[in-house]
């Protein structure tokens, strides 16, 4: 028997997504009859508003079942223009916006646009699990920069080399819920300007800030010209399965990045984009409701976990994640909670070495399930 040709090195060495892998384990366990409470997924338990679904159905029945523009439907790009203007105060031309199938593909598209093979991209950690793999898929080199105690400009500066091309920054941060301050954003833009770096700014949780407005690097003149903005409708509107996100870029950049869309997915389905237009039109009505719901959960969850011996939990400034510090091996604790308590969480090290000693809980279950999970954790604690 002849040997099969080798798979590409990029895939043979690529680790699977910790969040997706855990979601698959939960599905398998549930299929086998186990009643798992999933506090591991970033999928909020928010049903898509019926009016959004209706908009997609109308588009489908109206014939929106064919190829459309690789950049995105004009109506959706206009709605995104207005969204960006209202939130960051930045006016993007329609030609500078590309609609993507979700925020993750927006990250990958941005990286494909600016990263050459061998280029280094800095990633503050703890940080989202897919940044590093996306960089490697582009032929770049992911450079984790540990920041266990908040955003650290000097740590980024120390990690710079002649090969550094870009830095990925997420605010609010997954998994910590931290929101970068105006001073930190200004420092980031200054560093990027001094070192001629691209900033890939992931703002997918910006609608879930509990402590005040979000600061955006694209709002600064020096930041606008070098920031690629990643956003998504998944978290804010309960549309994770719709796969709808976007990139907003400085003038002229989109005309190059869109080639990656043309030669990969071609376009996001027009009927899904119609749903996006409807969602953004409902933002003022829906987002305060969802934000209030998740804020109440993180307050309740943090208070409950803080009372558990061996756990220390602060209230995040944004998002629906808790990232408590634990006494003991976070991987073993996560395994034991799944095996013995039927609660799925993620060890902090899934988000980089700086996440050691922490566990991430996603409060994306129902309120009833959250109460059950908190009671079980309180009863079992972190000690075996």
* DSSP letters for 81-134: HHHHHHHH-PPPPGGGEEEESSHHHHHHHHHHHH--TT-EEEEEES--TTHHHH
- CB–CB of 58/249 below 8 Å? no
The predicted model gives 229-255 an average pLDDT of 97
**What's the CA gap between 244 and 106, in Å, rounded?**
9
Provide the pLDDT for residue 384: 65
Provide the pLDDT for residue 1: 55
Provide the pLDDT for residue 191: 98
The topology under which CATH files domain 9-48+284-380 is 3.90.1150
Q: Beta-strand (E) ranges in 193-271?
A: 198-202, 227-232, 245-248
- CB–CB of 209/235 below 8 Å? no
pLDDT-derived band of residue 99, with 50, 70 and 90 as boundaries?
A: very high
The predicted model gives 311-336 an average pLDDT of 95
Peptide bond into 361 cis (omega under 30): no
Structure tokens at 320: 């629906």
Structure tokens at 233: 């409708």
Q: CA-based diameter of the chain, in Å?
A: 64
Which backbone phi and psi does 245 adopt, to 5 degrees?
-145, -170
Q: Which residues pair with 4 in a beta bridge?
A: none
Sheet strands side by side (includes 141-146): 97-100, 245-248, 227-232, 198-202, 164-170, 120-125, 141-146
The predicted model gives 138-150 an average pLDDT of 94
Provide the pLDDT for residue 345: 95
Helix ranges, 307-360 (H): 330-336
pTM recorded for the entire structure: 0.95
User: For 349, which DSSP code?
Assistant: G
The predicted model gives 154-163 an average pLDDT of 98
Element (H, E) at 170: strand 164-170
Those residues whose C-beta lies under 8 Å from the C-beta of residue 311, and which sit 6 or more positions away, are: 305, 324, 325, 326, 327, 377, 381, 382
Class of 66-283 per CATH?
alpha beta
Provide the pLDDT for residue 45: 85
Average pLDDT taken over every residue of the chain: 94
Provide the pLDDT for residue 57: 98
Give 5-59 pLDDT, tens digit per residue: 888 888 888 887 777 777 787 788 778 888 889 999 889 989 999 999 999 999 9
Convert 216-242 to b/e letters by CB count within 10 Å (16 or more is b). Answer: bbbbbeebbebbbbbbbbbbbbbbbeb
Q: Which residues pair with 22 in a beta bridge?
A: none
Domain ranges across the chain: 9-48+284-380, 66-283
pLDDT-derived band of residue 117, with 50, 70 and 90 as boundaries?
A: very high
For residue 380, CA distances in Å to 42, 139, 330, 333, 373 come to 24, 45, 15, 10, 11
Percent of the chain at pLDDT > 70 equals 99
Q: Give 7's Cβ-side CA count (13 Å radius).
A: 5
Provide the pLDDT for residue 34: 83
Those residues whose C-beta lies under 8 Å from the C-beta of residue 321, and which sit 6 or more positions away, are: 42, 174, 175, 176, 177, 298, 360, 361, 362, 363
Cα-based torsion angle of the residue sequence 186, 215, 362, 80 in order, rounded to the nearest 10 degrees: -120
For the cut 90, the answer to whether the pLDDT of residue 245 exceeds it is: yes
Provide the pLDDT for residue 62: 98
Structure tokens at 352: 């980089």
Peptide bond into 172 cis (omega under 30): yes
Residue 366 DSSP SS3: coil
Provide the pLDDT for residue 205: 97
For the cut 90, the answer to whether the pLDDT of residue 318 exceeds it is: yes
The predicted model gives 68-79 an average pLDDT of 98
Give 246-278 pLDDT, tens digit per residue: 999 999 999 999 999 999 999 999 999 999 999
């Amino acid at each position: 028997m002849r040997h099969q040709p080798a798979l590409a090195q990029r895939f043979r060495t690529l680790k699977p997504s910790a969040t997706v892998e855990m979601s698959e384990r939960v599905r398998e366990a549930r299929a086998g009859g186990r009643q798992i409470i999933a506090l591991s997924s970033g999928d909020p338990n928010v049903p898509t508003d019926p009016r959004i679904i209706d908009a997609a159905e109308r588009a489908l029945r109206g014939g929106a079942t064919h190829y459309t523009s690789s950049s995105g439907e004009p109506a959706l790009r206009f709605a995104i223009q207005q969204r960006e203007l209202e939130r960051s105060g930045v006016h993007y031309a329609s030609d500078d916006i590309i609609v993507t199938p979700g925020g993750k593909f927006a990250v990958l598209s941005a990286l494909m646009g600016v990263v050459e093979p061998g280029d280094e991209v800095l990633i503050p950690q703890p940080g989202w699990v897919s940044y590093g793999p996306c960089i490697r898929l582009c032929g770049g080199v992911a450079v984790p920069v540990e920041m266990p105690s908040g955003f650290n400009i000097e740590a980024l500066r120390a990690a710079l080399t002649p090969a550094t091309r870009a830095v990925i920054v997420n605010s609010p941060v997954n998994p910590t819920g931290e929101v970068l301050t105006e001073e930190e954003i200004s420092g980031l833009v200054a560093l990027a300007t001094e070192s001629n770096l691209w900033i890939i700014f992931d703002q997918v949780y910006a609608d879930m800030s509990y402590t005040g407005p979000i600061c955006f690097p694209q709002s600064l003149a020096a930041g606008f010209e070098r920031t690629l903005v990643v956003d998504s409708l998944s978290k804010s509107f309960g549309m994770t399965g719709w796969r709808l996100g976007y990139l907003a870029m400085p003038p002229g950049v989109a005309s190059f990045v869109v080639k990656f869309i043309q030669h990969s997915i071609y376009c996001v389905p027009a009927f899904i984009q119609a749903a996006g237009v409807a969602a953004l039109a409902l933002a003022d009505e829906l987002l305060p409701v969802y934000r209030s719901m998740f804020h109440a959960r993180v307050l309740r969850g943090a208070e409950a976990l803080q009372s558990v011996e061996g756990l220390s939990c602060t209230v995040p400034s944004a998002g629906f994640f808790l990232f408590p510090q634990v006494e003991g091996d976070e991987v073993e604790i996560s395994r034991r909670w799944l095996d013995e308590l039927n609660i799925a969480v993620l060890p902090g090290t899934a988000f980089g070495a700086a996440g050691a000693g922490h566990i991430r809980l996603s409060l994306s279950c129902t309120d009833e399930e959250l109460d059950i999970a908190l009671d079980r954790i309180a009863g079992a604690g972190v000690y075996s």
